[in-house]
Amino acid sequence: MNRQTQTFNELDRVIHEPGRLMIVALLFAIDQCDFLYLQHETEMNKGTLSSHLSRLEEAGYIEVVKTYRGKVPQTLLSLTASGREAFKQYRKKLKKALK
């Protein structure tokens, strides 16, 4: 196996999936957002977005906080410190693989 192929194989598969990559990239650029904002930006349906968020939460990459804005339920999302570090490493490895 050549070095480039090996580098691609080392990419974080949790982040590498296109939908999750989009979510992590968006959350990396901001401190926190709500579910509806993320749904609008990613153009995913609720079920697909929820599935991706669950996988990222299981990996410890995002924090999900259920709260209320007045009487309306609100789900707030943010990257954890390990999620930020994982995305930084992902970008670093991807750049290396593409050279």
- Note the pLDDT tens digit of each residue in 54-97: 999 999 999 999 999 999 999 999 999 999 999 999 999 999 88
Q: Which residue ranges make up each domain of the chain?
A: 3-97
Contact partners, residue 91, CB within 8 Å, separation at least 6:
none
Q: What is the pTM of this model?
A: 0.91
Distances (CA, A) of 90 to 12, 20, 44, 46, 80: 6, 12, 23, 26, 15
CATH code of the domain occupying 3-97: 1.10.10.10
